Amino acid sequence: MSELTDQIGATLEQLGIQFEAIAHNLANAGTVGYKRRISSFTQALAEAGVPMPDAGYDIDATTVYDFSQGSVTESGRPLDVALEGKGFFVIETPDGPLYTRSGVFGLNGDNQIVDLSGRPVAGSRGPISVPPQTAPSAIHVTADGAVQADGIQIDSFKLVSFKEEDEKALVSVGEGCFRAPAGARPETSEGLTVRQYCREASNVQLMEEMVNMLMVSRLYQANTRVLSATKDVGGSLMSVAMG
């Protein structure tokens, strides 16, 4: 009975992790460039006809980020740029490069293109700087990522991608950014299309996440009831044994 109790306890812990991941996805459904967290378990739940696992079912709650494309919508801002295809913008920080799909950018006091946290966006030669007094409306970004000011090319966005195994190892550091672990090397991205005046929405599918949350909640409740019943039986047997 102790083995069953331990197994159910482990299942409840894994279900709690699943619930947290789903809740995080739902909370960021409206976040530009957000990539949802998934696991083999929630992917199985999303498939039609998956039976409800029994109490104590061995659940793998290990989550990875799903970097599939989000929908692209027009925003009207000249420094909003969205990516279509596989790859990332590069953000320069004192601790090394970060990678993001969120192309909501602006200009800082040094006329550099920066992200919402004020960090420079990398170009082919470092931070992208536009000529002084350049209005955002005078900045044009081509489909291949070239940045022009008043019709003159000044730089290009540095766009990179990762091999599949390296992409799965990317670590979220918040604000839609990821850090590459040691050994993961970015490559020049091929086939990306850059769309100015646009934003990439999160790839969270609300209905799918709600269904997953309902299933995980039901499983959690079912396992809790079985655990409670198991403890009651154990308590009764102990009382009988002690006379």
The DSSP code for 40 is H
DSSP states of 112-137: BEE-TTSPBBEETTEE-BPPTT--GG
The rounded percent of the chain whose pLDDT value lies above 90 is 60
Query: What is the domain partition of the chain in residue ranges?
Result: 2-67+203-241, 72-200
Per-residue pLDDT tens for 77-108?
A: 999 999 999 999 999 999 999 999 999 999 99
| d(C-alpha 52, C-alpha 162), whole Å | 36
Report which residue type is found at 21.
Answer: A
What pLDDT sits at residue 236? 42
pLDDT in tens, 177-197: 999 998 899 999 888 999 999
Alpha carbon 118 to its chain centroid, in Å, reads 21
- Give the pTM: 0.83
Phi then psi for residue 106, to 5 deg, are -150, -170
**Residue type for 42, please?**
T
Question: Which one-letter DSSP state was computed for residue 71?
Answer: P
3-state secondary structure of 13: helix
> Which of the pair, 28 or 10, is modelled with greater confidence?
28
- Please, which residues have CB within 8 angstroms of residue 76's CB and are 6 or more apart in sequence? 197
